Structure 1
């Protein structure tokens, strides 16, 4: 059985990380506004916070994660509003061409480098014609002079605290150019990009070519 790396703090994960993450999530709502009855998949859904933003609009919600403790929190948060399942993002047990929007939020930087393009390819398989993939993650800069560097340092400390492997993947993600480089090497094209005020996070809305 896979070790649940977030099991010990899943119950208070939202209090630690959501205040900062919500700022970017709210921007994502303006980039891809919810519409009634569209199908949305959140890959690495964690505690369900991303899906919760689309619940009121009457979207059909699906979340997948490989961490049971995080999914347990998501189930408490979302109830029957979402279909939640355990699964590997590189081989998702879902039908092809099913979703209008697939979100991947602060997930890719955690992964081994060779898995990131595999996840994007799998997302493309699940996307409806004309659908979109919305990626949110850390950005390699440039950072604003003072606050950007402070935020970048805080993020590094947070990633270090998650363990050597986690931090190693984060360092590789930033050093290799983040989302920009990953998309450039994929059969996907950029629809819209947003970089946060201090340059430490970004949103990329992408589609199949």
Structure 2
């Protein structure tokens, strides 16, 4: 699906860019910070950190996404085709690992493995994903309905994992089971999206 990265950048990236920017504001990255994006897609998230002077790396299972990220970020970025549950980096390689909109796609055991791997390779972890309870406003309900429709279109295991993720408590539940702590968080899009910094 070599066409998918272009479709993602054109139609989906504008919908999630604000969440990426909320994460950058929460982190306040400094030049030289070593950042890994797990599930980096086309590199749009890493581009925000590269612009702040960070050293960036990313992994994704999709070779076409990695190719698009390479085109966007250039040779200075360390980009690899790899699985979030088996990251090809040594312990404490990074200052920050980011996982955006990836945990909800995974089966529960893989969520725990991915979070464990991110914690292994980085001092801090930033997770951005669907929050189980929007704020109850009309806008919050509309956003959740739209997000659920997109997840339903993805279908199959993806949609089942999304429903299980929300039903089991989302990121706070995954983090709680891992033994890590959420040290800062913000909610975006009328509470439908959570941005979590783990210590």
* Preserved contact between residue 7 and residue 67 of structure 1 (Cα < 8 Å): no
- Between Structure 1 and Structure 2, the one with more helix by share is 2
The separation in 2 between residues aligned to 1:149 and 1:56, in whole angstroms, is: 34
Q: Does 1:180 align with 2:172?
A: yes
Q: Does 1:66 align with 2:61?
A: yes
Output the aligned Cα RMSD. 1.2
TM (norm. structure 1) is 0.91
Return 5+ residue gaps in structure 1 as ranges.
1-5
Q: Secondary structure at the match of 1:34?
A: coil
The separation in 2 between residues aligned to 1:123 and 1:184, in whole angstroms, is: 15
* Preserved contact between residue 36 and residue 58 of structure 2 (Cα < 8 Å): yes
* Preserved contact between residue 128 and residue 193 of structure 2 (Cα < 8 Å): yes
The separation in 2 between residues aligned to 1:176 and 1:151, in whole angstroms, is: 20
TM (norm. structure 2) is 0.96
Shift of 1:53: 0.2
Aligned length: 199
Which residue of structure 1 aligns with residue 115 of structure 2?
Answer: 120
Shift of 1:8: 4.4
Q: Deviations over 1:105-164 (max 9, x none)?
A: 11110111111011111111112xxx2100000111143320111111100110011122
Match of 2:145 among 153, 174, 180: 153
Which residue of structure 2 aligns with residue 144 of structure 1?
Answer: 136
The separation in 1 between residues aligned to 2:134 and 2:24, in whole angstroms, is: 25
Return 5+ residue gaps in structure 2 as ranges.
none
* Preserved contact between residue 61 and residue 82 of structure 2 (Cα < 8 Å): yes
The separation in 1 between residues aligned to 2:145 and 2:57, in whole angstroms, is: 34
Which residue of structure 1 aligns with residue 5 of structure 2?
Answer: 10
